[in-house]
Amino acid sequence: MIYQIYPRSFADSDGDGIGDLPGITARLDHLAELGVDAIWLSPFYPSPQADAGYDVADYRDVEPLFGTLADADHLIAQARARGLRVIVDLVPNHTSSAHRWFDAALATGPGSAERQRYVFRDGRGPDGTEPPNDWQSVFGGPAWTRVADGQWYLHLFDPGQPDLNWDNPEVRTEFLDVLRFWLDRAVDGFRVDVAHGLIKQADLADWQEPQEILSGPETDKPRPPMWDQDGVHEIYRDWRRLLDGYPGERILVAEAWVEPAERLARYVRPDEMHQAFNFEYLLASWTAPAQYAVITRSLAATDAVGAPTTWVLSNHDVVRHASRLGLPVGTARPNGIGIGDEQPDAATGLRRARAATLLMLALPGSAYLFQGEELGLPEHTTMPDEARQDPTWERSGHTQRGRDGCRVPIPWEADAPSYGFGPTDASWLPQPPVWAEYALDRQRGVTGSTYEMYRAALRLRRTHGLGRGTLEWLSSGDEVLAFRNGGLVVLTNFGAAAVPPPGGELVHSSGPLNADGSVPTDVTVWVRPA
């Protein structure tokens, strides 16, 4: 079980309203108590923060907002001392426009070797005033920006994130060296950002479709020319060879928004990465047939290549599942929720989120949690738009709220300034008043709290070996799913009517059972059969 830390929003040691590495180190005991196996840290490298640190200006140092390289070393050592493994984020698709390479590319001009590290092209139209192709940025607006001498550079994300040219051997050598830098500092692995984007179709052909980060399901339609090109795999084979030369188990995890599962599985073939996030699972509707289909398909696809299946419900890019699941079943994935939007039902959302979590944590494979979900945190769905910082909001012309609502600094203490996030009231995104109810100190030791539900689930997952188990379906109807794994029977009731529990001893449940022992709507139970 891997726990994602978003450094800006986890814990702030110096009171500037932005979380930092010493803040994380001071809270490691919480993670050990919760029962996580590994932490994944979102980027903490020097960065102008045009995309909250996913715009990296130097891959071998620490952003002063977050601390120093010595703080990173200390964090890694302290995590290790508690038996926690550490995975860091690697952002190879693009650098920051403040990276020394990009400065050199601008300084040297068209045709220079420095420009070949990025994707520079002349524009179209008589004076080259039109972008080289019609690609859109994932955050909205054109994916090209024109520089002073008239050429254009590609950025699939923000203009502050120029795409690297992975056909250039120099780029490949540089990243092997960056991997070595962190492996030598004893990290256990890397989460690879936008792993499906590094190679673009050579002709940079027009696409004519709205830009999405998803590669699109296998249909007779061509694959988008910017995603999931076959050439990416060679890069990961090189990286795998490098990691395999290091002592201990070092892993690569792909952030690849690739559909369908069979196509995603290509990233985790035996000589490539170790795991890939299962976004098809995250996107699946809260119905028994949809959940059954995605679980079955995910297991089959990774089994075919001998890799562990992964499961994820929340991260720093999506509406938190306690809110997503509070929208009517079947609602398309919103890109943020704000004032004036349909508001999720908080009680239904939390109830389903808890049931979904217990279902997920009973599945064989590797589960990923996002900081704060162990508190049942909802999305901040009424954040004032003026407070938003995700480039999506501006670049989409205020049509997509973006991802700030899931990135709000998390509450540790109900009655402290910034709910215990830091020593002052400062918080880089506003925290909603409901944070007091969700604070860790209101839940710790409280039977039935979301925090204690997670903690017990992680303990049982470990003692019953669920992560390494095998799933055997017992029921896959329209209303109820039930399966056996590692000596436990797990049942989720998606239907409107209560259902009888499986026979045996109840060892865990996502909510109270009815007085007659039946399992209510939107509840998951774990039972040890008699």
Shortest distance in whole angstroms from residue 56 CB to ligand GLC: 9
Query: Which positions touch ligand GLC (CB under 6 A)?
Result: 51, 54, 91, 157, 193-194, 255, 316-317
Shortest distance in whole angstroms from residue 252 CB to ligand GLC: 15
- Closer Cβ to ligand GLC, 25 or 42, answer by number: 42
d(C-alpha 285, C-alpha 325), whole Å:
8
The token duo for 238 is 């090189």
Shortest distance in whole angstroms from residue 109 CB to ligand GLC: 27
Shortest distance in whole angstroms from residue 257 CB to ligand GLC: 7
Sign of CA dihedral 261, 262, 267, 270: positive
Shortest distance in whole angstroms from residue 49 CB to ligand GLC: 12
d(C-alpha 87, C-alpha 76), whole Å:
9
d(C-alpha 517, C-alpha 530), whole Å:
16
Asked if 312 and 282 count as a contact pair (C-beta separation under 8 A), the reply is yes
- Rg of the chain over all Cα atoms, to the nearest angstrom: 23
Asked if 257 and 228 count as a contact pair (C-beta separation under 8 A), the reply is no
Shortest distance in whole angstroms from residue 135 CB to ligand GLC: 15
Site of tokens 């250039």: 168
Catalytic residue annotation: 193, 255
Closest CA to 118 of 96, 142, 133: 96
Question: Which ranges of 185-308 does DSSP label H, i.e. alpha helix?
Answer: 232-244, 261-264, 279-283, 288-303
d(C-alpha 16, C-alpha 57), whole Å:
22
Shortest distance in whole angstroms from residue 208 CB to ligand GLC: 23
The token duo for 407 is 């990135």
Closest CA to 90 of 176, 21, 20: 176
- Closer Cβ to ligand GLC, 193 or 280, answer by number: 193
Report the residue count for the chain.
530
- Closer Cβ to ligand GLC, 91 or 362, answer by number: 91
User: By Cβ distance, which residue is nearest to ligand GLC?
Assistant: 54
- Closer Cβ to ligand GLC, 255 or 259, answer by number: 255
- Closer Cβ to ligand GLC, 101 or 412, answer by number: 101
- Closer Cβ to ligand GLC, 357 or 392, answer by number: 392
Q: In this structure, what DSSP letter does residue 473 have?
A: E
Which residues, listed in sequence order, are joined to residue 41 by a DSSP beta bridge? 5, 88
Sign of CA dihedral 91, 93, 98, 103: positive
- Closer Cβ to ligand GLC, 91 or 523, answer by number: 91
Chain-centre distance of CA 503, in angstroms?
A: 37
Strands 505-509 and 523-528: antiparallel
Closest CA to 432 of 386, 393, 383: 383
